[in-house]
Structures are given as C-alpha cells and as structure tokens.
C-alpha cells in the first residue's frame, strides 16, 4: 500500500479492530493463576545465550521506527537484514539508509498488513523491532517470539490484560526476550534520579508521580503518521491510554517486579471537551466536526503498591498545556520533581526551598550518560532513544538480562485496560495482575550499569 489513502484505510481498520477486540473481551484484572516457567525468571533475571552479532528486522519504519534504524546503524554489532512496512516507498527509503551505512541492502516486505509473517519465517533474524501502530504490537511480537526471535516493541506493549498475559506466556514458552522500548527510562534526569535513589539520597521511597501530558490535537486530526490511527482510540475508549512514559521511570525507582509490585488502581476522567472544540474551530465541515469522543481530557489514576507506596499517573493529550511527564519521586529524606528539574534533600542545600536539578548532575550523573553522551547527541528525544537502543544490543551481545523484560512490559501496559475498567465503574478500585506470579518478592533490583 503505497498511497496515503490506502495506508490510512489500513491503519484505521486496524485501530478499529483492536478497539473492538478490547471491548469484546472481559479480561479478569487479577490475571491468570497458571504456573510460570520456573527456569525463565530466576532472581537475577532471564538471559538468553550471547550473540556475536545481532541480525535485526524492522516492522514499521515510520517516524519513530525510522529514528531507531538511524540509531542501530551507529551501534557496533548490528546488521539490519530486513524491513517491513505497508508503505513501500518508505521501506525503500529506509533501506537506502542501511546501504549508505555500508551494509548490504536489506530485504523489503511490503505486500500488505500481514507481511511481517513472511519476514518472521526467515532463519537469519535474531531480533524483530516493532514500531507499528498499537493494534499490531502483540501480533507481531507473538509471531516473532514464536518463530525463535527476540522481540522489541514500542510502547505500549499491549492494551488489554489478556494480551499482556499472551506476551508473558509466549516469552516463557519460547524463552525469547520481549522488551518494551520505554525510552523515558533512559532520560538523563530519570537515570540521574535512579542513581540518587540507589545511593539512598531520598531515604525510603513513599510516593511517585508521572504523566503523559502532551497536546496531540493537531496530530490526531492530521493525515499522516499517528494521525492515521491514534484518533480512533479517543473515539471509543476512556482511561489512561498511554501510561508507560510517566510510569516507567517511577516503577524503575520503586523496584516494581523486583522487590515491590503494583497492587490495585483507581481511575477517573474529566469531561471530554478538547477534541470537539478543536474540531469545531479548526476543521472544515464534515464527519470529524460532528463526531463525539469518549476519552476524557484529563485522566488521573492512583496506584498503590504491595509495599504501601502510592503513585499518581495522569494522561492528557487533548487540551492546550505544555508538555510534562511530571517525574516526581518522594522519599522520607527528600524529593525530586521534573519540568523543570528541582531537588530538595533534607539537610542539604538549606531551608525548605528547591535547588536546581543541574546542581546534582556532576555528582549523580548516571554512568550511561557519562559514557554515551557524545554518541547520543542528535538522537531522538534528547538522546534517550540512543541509550535504550544501545543497552538492548549490549545485553543481547553479552547474554545479560535486559533492563526491562516481558514482565515489566506487561505490568506497565496492563494499567491501560485496568484504568478503563475503573473509569467505567465510578472509579472503583481494580486489582492489577502479578505477571511474575510471586517472583517479584525474590527478583533483584536493577543495578547502576556503566
């Protein structure tokens, strides 16, 4: 499908099908009770055998997928052997980047929406990187793991609880990684805060806050990129639809799945006004101006963990407000909050005021940023995309556990449907599944890698 109309039609059908599937299924938030594969999740984390070179295939090479291709072409030990996209000219364009980088021309898979299945039949692929619209995250990932390949997927990994379990069970059965590429876990400030947490600067952690506050009104109504599919989710769904950017760094600091665990969630949404108002004021008369939207402009979800910590998580993509992920960590000895970065540590800096976050950078800069700052310059999202790509390849080459595993992908993504269920039931608390099936109590926290 090379023309804009056919691509939009395909992505619109895909988004609608995914929403329909979500509505049709009544997933039990508490999850399944089956046994985990015991050898998959030892305390130190699952690690596959090391690889001498990582032969990669990409499914979806739009803006974000293409940006990742640029990153991986700069990382030693990577060969890009195949590219799949419904947009043939775009696949060819990205394929030329691979040739320009001195690698052989990758094979292109552009025969339609399920040509990724033909790609996954190859025996010369180690890792399938999936940067498709949300509807295709689970089908592509399951196909990749089922054919013996590791899977990396853009956020969220899934948006139903049943599909989260499907990813977990497939990874356990095939013993292949399923890594959700949560780039915000590698943000410069986020990794500095993790380093400060590990060094005990905040004392015992009590509370965290995260958000995805991003004015996407123009993008949702556009005829390109995310505008081809994202608006459909706002039409029929109401909850915290994109939680992982704000939640990922907080969960990492709180050792979720590695010493603590999400317990339950309650969620509420405001009225839906932003998209209708924007359409009336900016669009030509037609269906989009007459449409109503289910997604409340501001969703606020509250999570309590097994250890009694609390997390506030917000989602707003439909009102005029500057971008923020909040990124707050509160402990018994101090607090960090972002946008802008500020720190208060009891007994340090004096008084009850804030210090600028940069005042702590020389002392607590994360080793990954010290090591990779030059290489990350110019990469997507301030360089964090390069760091997450680098770490994925480093772990696979060395046979080490990945920083985020399939259980993290499932735990963070499950918040989506659980929040929708709570919103639909007058903010009734709903349990969050334990995808580790109790292993979180013994799993080791992430260390500070260099």
Fold of 4-182: Rossmann fold (3.40.50)
Q: State what percent of residues in the chain have pLDDT above 90.
A: 86
Question: Do 21 and 160 form a contact (C-beta atoms < 8 A)?
Answer: yes
d(CA 25, CA 29): 12
Please state the domain extents for the chain.
Answer: 4-182, 185-366+406-441
Phi, psi of 341 (to 5 degrees): -70, 125
12 — pLDDT class (breaks 50, 70, 90): very low
Fold of 185-366+406-441: Dihydrodipicolinate Reductase; domain 2 (3.30.360)
pLDDT of amino acid 400: 96
Which run of H or E residues covers position 311?
strand 310-316
d(CA 219, CA 304): 33
- Given a cut of 90, whether residue 29 has pLDDT beyond it is no
- Given a cut of 90, whether residue 23 has pLDDT beyond it is no
CA atoms within 13 A on the CB side of 28: 6
354 — pLDDT class (breaks 50, 70, 90): very high
pLDDT of amino acid 30: 45
- Given a cut of 60, whether residue 72 has pLDDT beyond it is yes
pLDDT of amino acid 35: 52
d(CA 224, CA 227): 5
Label the pairing between strands 127-130 and 54-59: parallel
Maximum distance among all Cα pairs of the chain, rounded to whole angstroms: 64
pLDDT of amino acid 450: 83
Specify the pTM. 0.92
Question: Do 326 and 211 form a contact (C-beta atoms < 8 A)?
Answer: yes
With CA atoms as reference, report the closest residue to 127 among 75, 86, 89: 75
pLDDT of amino acid 85: 98
Report the pLDDT averaged over residues 57-62.
Answer: 98
Question: Do 169 and 145 form a contact (C-beta atoms < 8 A)?
Answer: no
d(CA 362, CA 376): 18
Question: Do 25 and 17 form a contact (C-beta atoms < 8 A)?
Answer: no
Least confident of 31-35, 104-108, 231-235, 438-442: 31-35
Q: State what percent of residues in the chain have pLDDT above 70.
A: 91
Rg of the chain's alpha carbons, rounded to an integer?
21
Tell me what the pLDDT averaged over the chain comes to: 92
pLDDT of amino acid 286: 77
With CA atoms as reference, report the closest residue to 308 among 429, 412, 204: 204
Q: Write the pLDDT tens digit of every residue in 291-347.
A: 899 999 999 999 999 999 999 999 999 999 999 999 999 999 999 999 999 999 999
Q: Would the CATH topology of 4-182 be identical to that of 185-366+406-441?
A: no
- Given a cut of 60, whether residue 87 has pLDDT beyond it is yes
d(CA 248, CA 283): 35
17 — pLDDT class (breaks 50, 70, 90): very low
Q: Write the pLDDT tens digit of every residue in 166-195.
A: 999 999 999 999 999 999 999 999 999 999
CA atoms within 13 A on the CB side of 37: 14
Report the pLDDT averaged over residues 140-145.
Answer: 98
Q: Write the pLDDT tens digit of every residue in 205-245.
A: 999 999 999 999 999 999 989 999 999 999 999 999 999 99
């Amino acid at each position: 499908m090379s023309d804009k109309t056919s691509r939009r039609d395909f992505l619109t059908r895909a988004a609608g099908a995914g929403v329909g599937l979500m509505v049709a299924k009544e997933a039990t938030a508490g999850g399944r009770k089956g046994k985990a594969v015991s050898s998959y999740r030892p305390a130190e984390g699952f690690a596959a055998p090391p690889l001498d070179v990582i032969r990669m295939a990409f499914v979806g090479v739009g803006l974000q997928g293409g940006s990742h291709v640029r990153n991986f072409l700069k990382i030693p030990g990577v060969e890009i052997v195949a590219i799949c996209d419904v947009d043939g000219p775009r696949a060819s364009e990205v394929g030329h980047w691979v040739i320009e980088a001195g690698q052989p021309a990758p094979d292109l898979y552009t025969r339609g929406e399920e040509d990724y299945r033909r790609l996954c039949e190859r025996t010369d692929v180690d890792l399938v990187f999936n940067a498709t619209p949300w509807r295709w995250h689970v089908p592509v990932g399951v196909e990749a793991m089922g054919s013996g390949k590791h899977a990396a997927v853009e956020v969220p990994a899934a948006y139903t609880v049943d599909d989260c379990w499907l990813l977990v069970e497939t990874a356990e059965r095939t013993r292949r990684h399923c890594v959700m590429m949560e780039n915000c876990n590698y943000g410069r400030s986020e990794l500095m805060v993790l380093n400060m947490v590990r060094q005990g600067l905040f004392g015992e952690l009590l509370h965290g806050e995260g958000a995805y506050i991003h004015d996407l009104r123009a993008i949702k109504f556009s005829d390109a990129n995310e505008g081809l599919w994202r608006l459909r989710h706002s039409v029929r769904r109401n909850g915290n639809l994109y939680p992982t950017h704000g939640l990922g760094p907080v969960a990492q600091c709180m050792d979720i799945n590695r010493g603590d665990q999400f317990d339950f969630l309650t969620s509420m949404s405001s009225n839906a006004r932003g998209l209708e108002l924007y359409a009336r004021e900016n669009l030509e008369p037609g269906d989009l101006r007459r449409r109503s939207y289910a997604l409340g402009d501001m969703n606020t979800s509250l999570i309590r963990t097994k250890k009694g910590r609390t997390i506030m998580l917000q989602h707003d993509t439909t009102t005029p407000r500057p971008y923020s992920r909040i990124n707050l960590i509160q402990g018994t000895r101090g607090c960090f909050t972002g946008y802008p970065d500020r720190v208060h540590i009891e007994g340090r800096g004096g008084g009850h005021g804030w210090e600028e976050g940069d005042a702590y950078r020389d002392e607590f800069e994360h080793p990954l940023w010290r090591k990779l700052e030059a290489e990350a310059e110019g990469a997507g999202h301030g360089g964090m995309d390069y760091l997450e790509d680098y770490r994925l390849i480093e772990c696979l080459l060395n046979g080490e556990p990945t920083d985020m595993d399939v259980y993290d992908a499932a735990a963070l993504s499950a918040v989506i449907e659980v929040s929708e269920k709570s919103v639909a039931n007058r903010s009734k608390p709903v349990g969050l599944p334990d995808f580790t099936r109790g292993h979180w109590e013994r799993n080791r926290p992430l260390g500070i890698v260099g």
